[in-house]
Chain A
Amino acid sequence: MQTLAQRLANPTRFMELSGALLPWVSATAAVLIAYAMYLAFFVAPPDYQQGETVKIMFIHVPSAWLATMGYGLIAASSFGLLVFRHPLADVSAKAAAPIGAVFTLLALITGSLWGKPMWGTYWVWDARLTSVLILFFLYLGLIALRSSIEDEALAGKLTAVLGLVGVAILPVVKFSVDWWNTLHQGASVLRLGGSTIHPDLLVPLLVSALGFTVLFIALHLKAMRNEILRRRVKALTLAAVARSHGASVTAAAE
């Protein structure tokens, strides 16, 4: 009796399932994001302090959440590779890195564009902003390390180790606003005692976060499918080279 994880561990089974799921997941993401944009621009009121710039929150906060979630996914996949040797764990970790990097970059860009009108500066070296910048560099480091090693298995193991070591940045990102005196505001949604945001702004934010999360899942599924195809192409190319080499050796012997 195989567990669900064991059944999904088969790349062929994963390709079948993800191929069927991907259009539905993508469509769900598109509908949710479109609805979130409608709520953001036509329903949500301006904030009593920040005015209309609060609209940036509807894309900045989901981007920031997905920046950390993406790294959490890489860390979990790395653990799955190093401990359980799950065949798809390395594929998952490799596929998540550029997507997580993109959402981290978007969190930095939108945060900077929100910071200028609210704080008077695009950037300040406070703990939250700096730790997110380090997270972005960690993503780039994972991508660079993997691409610098030709042996796929070795590259997977080494990036998994770096991925697990780097997970220490996640609590720093999350609690930086509590541990240090930062210009960045403290947690206002995921906090003990409940959210401090008015429901008129909270609902569009949560719809947007859900939409972008589903988009992240769709992007990750697509990237994993691409990676499985890439590995098949590589394996077949090597097989073709070996076959032609064997044929030439046979011809030479004759």
Chain B
Amino acid sequence: MDLGPHAAFIWASYAAVAVVLAGLVAWLVFDGWRQGQALADLEAQGVTRRSTSKDAGT
């Protein structure tokens, strides 16, 4: 694929978008996993919400 004399600027733009968005997705997934783990640890210790029985799995 020939993107002409300014190919470096085009590839750099797409690379920046890919890297930054991949980082954002990774951060959100990791944060969700971390919060889920913390919640599971607390519930394993017997600390539960009043409504836990109604919305198990959230």
Q: Find out whether the CB atom of A113 lies under 8 angstroms from the CB atom of B49.
A: no
Bound: A230/B37 CA distance, A:
11
Question: Distance (Å) between the CB of B20 and the closest chain A CB?
Answer: 6
Contacts A52-B6, A233-B42, A240-B45; is A110 near B21 (CB within 8 Å)? Answer: no
Asked if A51 contacts B17 (CB within 8 A), the reply is no
Q: Judging by beta carbons under 8 Å apart, are A55 and B24 in contact? A: no
Can you name the residue of chain A whose Cβ is closest to the Cβ of B2?
A: A52
Interface residues of A in 6-61 (CB under 8 A from B): 12, 15-16, 19, 41, 46, 51-53, 55-56, 59-60
Residues in B with CB closer than 8 Å to A109 are 13, 16, 20
Out of A117, A229, A230, A243, which one reaches B9, CB within 8 Å? A117
Asked if B13 and A60 make an inter-chain contact with CB atoms under 8 angstroms apart, the answer reads yes
Given A15-B58, A19-B58, A237 contacting B42 (CB threshold 8 A):
yes
Say if the beta carbon of A121 comes within 8 Å of chain B.
no
Contact across chains for A229 and B42 when beta carbons are under 8 A apart: no
List residues of chain B with CB within 8 A of the CB of A243.
Answer: 47
Q: Is the CB of B12 within 8 A of A12?
A: no
Say whether A233 contacts B35, CB under 8 Å: yes
Contact residues in A for B43 (Cβ distance below 8 Å): 236
State the interface size on chain A (CB cutoff 8 A).
41
Q: Are B55 and A222 touching (Cβ within 8 A)?
A: no
B13 adjacent to A56 (CB under 8 Å): yes
Option from B31, B42, B55 in Cβ contact (under 8 Å) with A15: B55
In the complex the two chains form, what is the Cα distance from A240 to B43 in whole Å? 10
**A59 contacts which chain B residues (CB < 8 A)?**
13-14, 17
Q: Is A226 an interface residue when CB atoms closer than 8 A count as contact?
A: yes
- Interface flags, A53-90, vs B, CB<8A=1, else 0: 10110011001000000000000000000000000000
Which residues of chain A (210-253) have a CB below 8 Å from chain B? 215, 219, 222-223, 225-226, 229-230, 232-233, 235-237, 239-240, 243
B35: which A residues are within 8 A, CB to CB?
Answer: 226, 229-230, 232-233
In Å, the complex CA distance between A219 and B23 comes to: 12
CB contact under 8 A between A53 and B32, given known A15-B58, A63-B17, A219-B24: no
A102 CB, nearest partner CB in chain B, Å:
5
A108 to B36, CA, bound (A): 34
B13 and A52 contact, CB distance less than 8 A = no
* Bound CA span A33–B25, Å: 15
Q: How far is the CA of A233 from the CA of B33 in the complex (A)?
A: 12
Closest residue on chain B to residue A240 by CB atoms:
B47
* A–B pairs, 26, beta carbons within 8 Å: A12-B51, A12-B55, A15-B58, A41-B1, A52-B4, A53-B4, A53-B6, A53-B9, A53-B10, A56-B13, A60-B13, A102-B21, A110-B16, A113-B12, A113-B13, A117-B5, A117-B6, A117-B9, A219-B24, A223-B28, A225-B32, A226-B31, A229-B39, A232-B35, A233-B35, A235-B49
